[in-house]
């Protein structure tokens, strides 16, 4: 079968492409924005990419169009598909019907940490010899791809609450029929589709409603919104993490290794190369979910000790003249704050120069702008790329005084960073997009000569 994917360079749809190709289908796709790591990952798999959404792509005559949730009415190719009565399906529905059927699905949901936690969980199962399939919204360093199809009964999936497609406004995760579900946290996000936090909680409860009685929910005890969701009704056993009565960590978060306790009894010691309390919490969730699938804590902790992390999560892109440039996917204020705190834990007293692109739909709408200054407080300086925003970044970041600057021109931003960067500095780039290739621009500007 020939499948043509609309929005193929998104992390989820790119994963669909890899799974479809592994299933033996011919796969092509199109997108408006083609950038690494997804574009290079797809090209390496021999998947043909087309820039743009011209209606003429119907001439490819695929057997099926798979439509990503970034595609809305008015898109010329989508309109041509509808006008010509051509067969189409959403990505989550295609996945559920063609890949996930008869699998033990381990789904990782939450506002933050889905990608890292799903990667941890997949690596734990891999380390235990269970060879899981997976679809993750990033590229785990230990696997080198964001999605993999295997004959294993186990499949790990990043379970996003964003809507499914133009034709299906339910959250993606309702399609997956999970047996093991991680609820990492829950905050207001995706302001372009949800009116308020209560609307997101309703979608999470829909997810909870379809979990089997024989399954397991692993939930964050520090999340009041998650407790509200489960109080609406829950028919599945729950194990809490960040809870002394459930899964918890003992000792200072500054320790190189920390004791893991289950119901107050030590289950082993956690050692992670990834810094930050948020990643330690992600690890607890992965430990609990893996145990449900049959992996004992000692084996899971051994796997986490050699977990290599995920691309675009505090990923070092290079060090030139003593200045290190990082790439991170953080774009929500909570994630920005946690990422800066994690880097601080790793580097100690070095200066952090935060380079931020508020690119998500929620940030573009300005819904979270009031929280932005506090989230950046621990960085010595902030450089914000403000092109295509509907609100004034300079006013928003005014509480940071002369420690924050805003730029509508990417070259001007790079020059400003170069004017202050010095040996020993750490330049933390945060964006959920390509950010005009600013990482390479910074490294090139730092290079001598």
* Model confidence at 310: pLDDT above 80: yes
For residue 69, give every residue at least 6 positions away whose Cβ sits within 8 Å of its Cβ, in sequence order, or none: 7, 12, 90, 91, 162, 163, 164, 165, 166, 172
Question: pLDDT digits over 83-115, tens only?
Answer: 999 999 999 999 999 999 999 999 999 998 999
DSSP 166: T
Q: For 374, list phi and psi in degrees, rounded to 5.
A: -65, -35
State the Cα–Cα distance between residues 444 and 92, nearest whole angstrom.
Answer: 40
CB count in 10 Å sphere of residue 47: 20
| Mean pLDDT to the nearest integer, 193-197 | 86
Q: Check residue 204 and give its pLDDT.
A: 96
Angle at 377 between CA 376 and CA 379, to 5 degrees: 70
Residue 108: beta bridge partners?
158, 182
In 3D, which of 161, 158, 178, 172 has the Cα closest to residue 67?
172
Q: Mean pLDDT for the chain?
A: 93
Does the pLDDT value for residue 359 go beyond 90? no
| pLDDT at residue number 35 | 67
Whether residue 176 contacts residue 92, with contact meaning beta carbons closer than 8 Å, is answered with yes
- Of the listed ranges 68-82, 248-262, 411-425, the one predicted with least confidence: 248-262
Identify which has the larger pLDDT, 383 or 277: 383
Domain ranges of the chain: 2-92, 102-305, 315-446
Q: What percent of the chain has pLDDT over 90?
A: 80
CATH superfamily of the domain spanning 102-305:
Mur-like, catalytic domain (3.40.1190.10)
The alpha carbon of 330 is separated from its chain's Cα centroid by a whole number of angstroms, namely 9
- What are all long-range contacts of 226-231, with beta carbons under 8 Å and residues at least 24 apart? 226/183, 226/185, 226/186, 228/201, 229/183, 229/186, 229/201, 229/204, 229/205
C-alpha angle 177-183-184 in degrees, rounded to nearest 5: 140
Cα–chain center distance at 92: 16
CATH class of 315-446: alpha beta
Please report which confidence band the pLDDT of residue 433 belongs to, taking 50, 70 and 90 as the band edges: confident
Q: For residue 16, which phi and psi values (nearest 5 degrees)? A: -55, -40
- Are 218 and 288 within 8 A, CB to CB? yes
- What integer is the mean pLDDT of 196-225? 96
Tokens of 39: 């574009």
Pairing mode of beta strands 265-271, 257-262: antiparallel
Architecture of the 2-92 domain: 3-Layer(aba) Sandwich (3.40)
Residue 426's DSSP bridge partners are: 324, 352
pLDDT in tens, 33-57: 776 667 887 888 889 999 999 999 9
Q: Which range has the worst mean pLDDT, 35-39, 48-52, 205-209, 405-409? A: 35-39
What length does the chain have? Answer: 449
Query: Cα–Cα distance between 25 and 12 in angstroms, integer?
Result: 18
Q: What is the DSSP string of 266-302?
A: EEEEEE-SS-SHHHHHHHHHHHHHHHHTT--HHHHHH
pTM of structure = 0.89
Strands 168-171 and 88-90: unpaired
**Which whole number is the average pLDDT over 290-318?**
95
Tokens read off for 268: 């082993």
Whole-number percent of the chain with pLDDT over 70: 99
Contact 429, 384 (CB under 8 A): no
Q: How confident is the model at residue 262 (pLDDT cuts 50, 70, 90)?
A: very high
- Exposure of 162 by Cβ count < 10 A (0-12 exposed, 13-18 middle, 19+ buried)? middle
Question: What separation in angstroms does the CA of 369 have from each of 100, 360, 395?
Answer: 38, 12, 10
């Amino acid at each position: 079968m020939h499948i043509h994917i609309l929005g193929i360079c998104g992390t989820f749809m790119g994963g669909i492409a890899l799974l479809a190709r592994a299933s033996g289908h011919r796969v092509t796709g199109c997108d408006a924005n083609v950038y690494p790591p997804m574009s290079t990952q797809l090209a390496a798999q021999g998947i043909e990419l087309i820039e743009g959404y011209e209606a003429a792509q119907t001439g490819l005559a695929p057997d099926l169009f798979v439509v990503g949730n970034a595609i809305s009415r008015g898109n010329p190719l989508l309109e041509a598909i509808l006008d010509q009565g051509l067969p189409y399906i959403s990505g989550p529905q295609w996945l559920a019907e063609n890949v996930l059927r008869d699998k033990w699905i381990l789904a990782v949901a939450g506002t933050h940490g889905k990608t890292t936690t799903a990667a941890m969980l997949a690596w734990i199962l891999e380390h235990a010899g269970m060879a899981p399939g997976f679809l993750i919204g990033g590229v785990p360093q230990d696997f080198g791809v964001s999605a993999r199809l295997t004959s294993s009964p186990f499949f790990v999936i990043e379970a996003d609450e964003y809507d499914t497609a133009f034709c299906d406004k339910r959250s993606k995760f309702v399609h997956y029929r999970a047996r093991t579900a991680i609820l990492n946290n829950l905050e207001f996000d995706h302001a372009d589709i949800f009116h308020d936090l209560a609307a997101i909680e309703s979608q999470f409860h829909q997810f909870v409603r379809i979990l089997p009685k024989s399954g397991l929910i692993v939930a964050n005890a520090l999340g009041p919104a998650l407790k509200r969701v489960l109080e609406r009704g829950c028919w599945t056993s729950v194990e809490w993490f960040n809870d002394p009565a459930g899964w918890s960590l003992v000792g200072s978060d500054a320790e190189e290794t920390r004791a893991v306790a289950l119901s107050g009894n030590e289950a082993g010691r956690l050692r992670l190369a990834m810094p930050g309390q948020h990643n330690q919490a992600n690890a607890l969730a992965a430990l609990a979910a893996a145990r449900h699938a049959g992996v004992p804590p000692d084996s899971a902790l051994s796997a986490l000790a050699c977990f290599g992390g995920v691309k675009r999560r505090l990923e070092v892109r290079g060090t030139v003249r003593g200045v290190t440039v990082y790439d991170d996917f953080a774009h929500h204020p909570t994630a920005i704050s946690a990422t800066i705190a994690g880097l601080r834990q790793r580097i100690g007293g070095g200066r952090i120069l935060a380079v931020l692109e508020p690119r998500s739909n929620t940030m573009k709408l300005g819904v979270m702008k009031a929280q932005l200054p506090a989230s950046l407080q621990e960085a010595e300086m902030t450089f914000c790329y403000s092109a295509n925003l509907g609100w004034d970044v300079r006013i928003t970041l005014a509480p940071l005084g002369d420690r924050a600057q805003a730029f509508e021109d990417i070259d001007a931003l790079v020059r400003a960073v170069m004017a202050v960067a010095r040996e020993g500095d750490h330049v933390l780039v945060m964006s959920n997009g390509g950010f005009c290739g600013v990482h390479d621009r910074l490294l090139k500007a730092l290079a001598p000569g």
